[in-house]
Amino acid sequence: MTLRRLLAALAVLLAICRVQASLAAPQAMVAAAHPLAVDAGLEVLRRGGTAVDAAVAVQMVLGVVEPQASGIGGGGFLLHYDNATRAITVYDGRETAPAGATPTMFLDGNGKPLGFRPAVVSGISVGVPGALAMLELAHKEHGKLAWRDLFEPAIAAARDGFPVPPRLAAWLSRIPGLREEPGIRAVYFNAEGSPRKAGERIANPDLAGTMRLIADQGTRAFYEGAIAAEMVERVRAHERPGTLSLADLADYRPIKREALCGPYRLWVVCGMPPPSSGGIAILQALTLLEPFEIWRDTPSDLRSIHLIAEASRLAFADRDRYVADPAFVKVPVEGLLSPTYLAERRKLMSPDRSMGKVGPGVPPGYVERGTSHMSIVDRWGNAVAFTTTIEAPFGAQIMVRGFLLNNELTDFSPLPEADGRPIANRVEPGKRPRSSMSPTLVFDQGNRLVAVLGSAGGSRIIGDTLQALLGLLDWNLPVSAAIALPRVINSNGPTELERGPLADLADGLRGLGHQVQVRGHEGGLTGIRRVGDGWEGGADPRRDGAARGE
């Protein structure tokens, strides 16, 4: 090892040592993006609630204190593990395109994709929210406590107020245009238009009232009636109006799917199937990496960082070509995860040279045609990995009765076709846009749950979750240290290195043929890992999160 590589390795280890030690808990653990949400989940577990009960309470509080990332106006994916039956249930609460959506809705008059702000801050970006319907279904099947009681911590926080978290304050100062939305301005800005600062106390009484209705009447109060009518009116009255209708809302249904599971060394890793690309991409990357035995390297070794970037590059090439809503596109899942196919793709990887931008493969069976994450384990060993989102910070920047509407439809491809061929992730009525959300469960050879994790961060979710898994499984790091590892991200383009210790590897990677960008990284991971007969938890130190248990 050269002196430079040794110094980089030591810098990473020092950074890991500075992370707050993982919290050990004998029975139950909650890790989420804000301490108030963690406290709400833990209180539910203390009262005999299940992991799903706690997930409902955590999500509702996050919608109050972390409105830029998630809430009842968005959607999500939830993996549930039942320790008694050893069954994994996948709940798909992804938003859907309204019946009036068209493949060209994100193109301008010249047939070119709309710019970021015109596409996002608009009525056309709003999908039918799915989080509430999904949580209600999961609660009916795995909850123990009354639905209405799970809303009480969130209602109290919205009614009585809470200190503005640092991350929310930072986003309010970054997006001054938010004050143009009257509902957002009334809650998050001062009378003269300045953003509320970290630590100032704010309340959201409209959201408290909305949550009270949903707590008392169930999700019907959201998908039908006055709340639904107001959502439709706001979307259709926007200067760039969408087509959301009362029928779209009333017809929304969550979907139960089969988990995607695959082996990695001594473990089985289970994740989300399409329309998420996360499960496929992570399993592909792990399979591609396994023969390289990166566990022999350090987390900051040039070789391991290079190989992680190259495996991610190959996974993203296939993701962009093949993965979309399986109700509309035949996704060759088995082919993409075939060991034979991945062995052929692995031949493109070299320890000594980057392959550069790469095209997708042709897998067997192919026929031509703002986010947040929580990880929870309850006293019975049941677990939830739940990634929830409204997409961009503050979603479509449309507030209805205290909550923000998502802009998830911008996750579709703005172009309907390329090279004369339909794009898999093009907009179609009723379709669920492709996602990178990657809630993940890990099991040992005895089929015992050993880890629960996932991340926020848009398309970087896949790389964050992959690297945290490698930290846990290859380098045997505590969960908090695996979450805090400096990041390398590759989405089949430039290799991104997180600003900090890994930046010293930039020249080495360039020497291997990488285009390198050194930048800040927002992170958003939370995770739980088995330690003996108990659990340890961690939350990303780059955000406001926490992990607590008892």
Reported as a pLDDT band with limits 50, 70 and 90, residue 8 is: very low
Residue 367 is predicted with a pLDDT of: 54
Residue 9 is predicted with a pLDDT of: 47
Locate tokens 């060991």: which residue? 339
Residue 85 is predicted with a pLDDT of: 96
Each residue of 64-85: pLDDT tens digit?
Answer: 999 999 999 999 999 999 999 9
Checking DSSP bridges between strand 383-389 and strand 372-377, what pairing results, if any?
Answer: antiparallel
The pLDDT of residue 4 is above 60: no
Residue 424 is predicted with a pLDDT of: 94
The pLDDT of residue 399 is above 90: yes
Closest CA to 487 of 508, 510, 471, 511: 471
Residue 154 is predicted with a pLDDT of: 98
For 96, the 3-state DSSP assignment is strand
Do residues 46 and 74 make contact, with C-beta atoms less than 8 angstroms apart? no
Q: How far apart are CA 360 and CA 55, in angstroms?
A: 37
Q: How far apart are CA 203 and CA 192, in angstroms?
A: 18
Closest CA to 153 of 211, 96, 216: 211
Q: What is the mean pLDDT of residues 410-439?
A: 93
Amino acid at 383: A
Residue 10 is predicted with a pLDDT of: 41
Q: How far apart are CA 370 and CA 29, in angstroms?
A: 24
Residue 202 is predicted with a pLDDT of: 96
CB atoms < 10 A from the CB of 356, how many? 12
Residue 366 is predicted with a pLDDT of: 66
Residue 116 is predicted with a pLDDT of: 86
The pLDDT of residue 20 is above 90: no
- Token digits for 11? 């810098």
Q: What is the mean pLDDT of residues 230-247?
A: 96
Of 376-380, 436-440, 457-461, which gets the smallest average pLDDT? 457-461
Q: What is the mean pLDDT of residues 361-390?
A: 87
The pLDDT of residue 7 is above 60: no
Residue 529 is predicted with a pLDDT of: 96
Residue 411 DSSP symbol: G
Each residue of 290-330: pLDDT tens digit?
Answer: 999 999 999 999 999 999 999 999 999 999 999 999 999 99
The pLDDT of residue 487 is above 80: yes
Each residue of 152-183: pLDDT tens digit?
Answer: 999 999 999 999 999 999 999 999 889 999 99
Would you call 54 exposed, middle or buried from its count of C-beta atoms within 10 A (0-12, 13-18, 19+)?
A: buried
Q: How far apart are CA 211 and CA 221, in angstroms?
A: 10
* Alpha-helical regions (H) of 245-374: 246-250, 278-289, 302-322, 333-336, 339-346
Q: What is the mean pLDDT of residues 513-542?
A: 94
The pLDDT of residue 405 is above 80: yes
Counting residues of the chain whose pLDDT is more than 70, the rounded percentage is: 95
Amino acid at 543: R
The pLDDT of residue 24 is above 70: no
Do residues 28 and 452 make contact, with C-beta atoms less than 8 angstroms apart? no
For 198, the 3-state DSSP assignment is coil
- Token digits for 78? 């939830």
Residue 25 is predicted with a pLDDT of: 59
Reported as a pLDDT band with limits 50, 70 and 90, residue 392 is: confident
Name 24's bridge partners: 536
pTM of the model: 0.93
Name 268's bridge partners: 263, 443
Name 91's bridge partners: 78, 256
Alpha-carbon dihedral angle through residues 108, 102, 99, 231, given to the nearest 10 degrees? -10
Locate tokens 């050879």: which residue? 445
Reported as a pLDDT band with limits 50, 70 and 90, residue 2 is: very low
Q: What is the mean pLDDT of residues 503-525?
A: 94
Reported as a pLDDT band with limits 50, 70 and 90, residue 18 is: very low
Would you call 503 exposed, middle or buried from its count of C-beta atoms within 10 A (0-12, 13-18, 19+)?
A: middle
Q: Give me the sign of the Cα torsion angle 68, 71, 75, 79.
A: positive
The pLDDT of residue 3 is above 50: no
Who wins on pLDDT, 6 or 410? 410
Residue 533 is predicted with a pLDDT of: 87
Residue 80 is predicted with a pLDDT of: 98
Closest CA to 374 of 439, 442, 326, 471: 439
For 162, the 3-state DSSP assignment is strand
Residue 371 is predicted with a pLDDT of: 85
Do residues 111 and 442 make contact, with C-beta atoms less than 8 angstroms apart? no
Each residue of 252-286: pLDDT tens digit?
Answer: 999 999 999 999 999 999 999 999 999 999 999 99
The pLDDT of residue 16 is above 50: no
Q: What amino acid positions are annotated as catalytic residues?
A: 371
Each residue of 42-60: pLDDT tens digit?
Answer: 999 999 999 999 999 999 9
- Token digits for 397? 């920047």
